[in-house]
A and B are shown apart, each in its own frame.
Chain A
Amino acid sequence: MKQIKTLFTLALLLLAAFGCGTTDNPVDDRDEIATLTGALQGEVQSIEGVTIQVHLLKDGQLVAHTEAHGSYALNEIEAGNYTLHISANGYQDAELNVTVVAGETVSLDKVTLAALALPDGLELGEGLNIGSKAPAFELPDGNGELHALADYTGNDKKVVLIFYRGGW
């Protein structure tokens, strides 16, 4: 009886190891996948009570996101070159160029975010005071063509400036 039980357990283990679902796949590529991904870890100087957003981008597209209170880690990232974007409420953004190496955990330098200077009496994200000067700007549109605020004001034209959340 004990032998039968042992055999049964062995059969179960074999099933678990090879899996019914993989037998119809001529190539088991699980190992290959494991070698093509790597991990990143790093540290941001922690800011009391502030959540730090960590975005990993490839060619401007979001690949991974995590939140940090001090240290952060991004796992199972495809090997390659990325931009790591670190931001926090009330602080200037930091950007790092990072390379993910297959099968490795890359440790990044510690990042310290500089505090944003806000005009007197303003809370972060609460806009500008009425009557204050509208900051000049020049930004690209979807075709890369630059538009400046000054192109639109003047000639007695008011400007309605709308900020929207966007795609990500």
Chain B
Amino acid sequence: MQQNYERIQAAGAELITISSDNVAPTKKTVENHGLEYPVLSDNKKEVITAYNVIDQSDTSIARPAAYIITPDGKVAWKSLDAAAVRVPTATILTELGKL
């Protein structure tokens, strides 16, 4: 994902990732994978709720999902993914190219 982060940046976008994990496990995720992009903790699920991506089968977590937000703060694209699936970065790059 680190390499794909650079590809996303090269396409003129910033990457932010969010889960319902607390701060400490979030830090572990960053360290385990050597991540340089922001990995944020939404343990109260305020943002997960605001973006309407609560997991239907386990309401304590987010479902895998991706959004592209325009520079003026509008939702330009979204991908709602199955439980064990993450949206391919290639798809995100294609969508970024369309905007």
Contacts and interface: CB of A to CB of B under 8 A. Distances in A.
A69 interface: no
Interface string A140-156: 11111001011011111
A115 interface: no
A139 interface: yes
A166 B66 CA distance: 14
Interface string A22-66: 000000000000000000000000000000010100001100000
Nearest to A129: B75
Contact of A128 (B46, B75, B99): B75
B69 A134 contact: yes
Given A87-B59, A127-B80, A142-B41, A167 B21 contact: yes
Interface string B13-27: 111111111111111
A127 B54 contact: no
Given A127-B78, A130-B76, A164-B17, A155 B22 contact: no
A89 B52 CA distance: 11
Contacts of A142: 23-24, 26-31, 39, 41
Nearest to B11: A158
Given A124-B52, A125-B53, A134-B73, A168 B13 contact: no
Contacts of A153: 69-73
A85 B60 contact: yes
Contact of B48 (A55, A134, A136, A163): A163
Given A53-B59, A124-B56, A142-B27, A160 B14 contact: yes
Given A125-B55, A127-B80, A158 B69 contact: yes
A168 B22 CA distance: 10
A1 interface: no
Given A149-B16, A162-B86, A163-B62, 7 more contacts: A60-B23, A127-B53, A127-B80, A128-B75, A141-B30, A152-B16, A165-B83
Interface of B: 8, 12-31, 38-56, 58-78, 80, 83, 86-87, 92, 96, 99
Interface of A: 53, 55, 60-61, 85, 87-89, 93, 116, 118-119, 122, 124-137, 139-144, 147, 149-150, 152-168
Smallest CB-CB A-B distances: 7 pairs: A142-B27, A166-B19, A166-B21, A135-B50, A139-B40, A60-B22, A158-B13
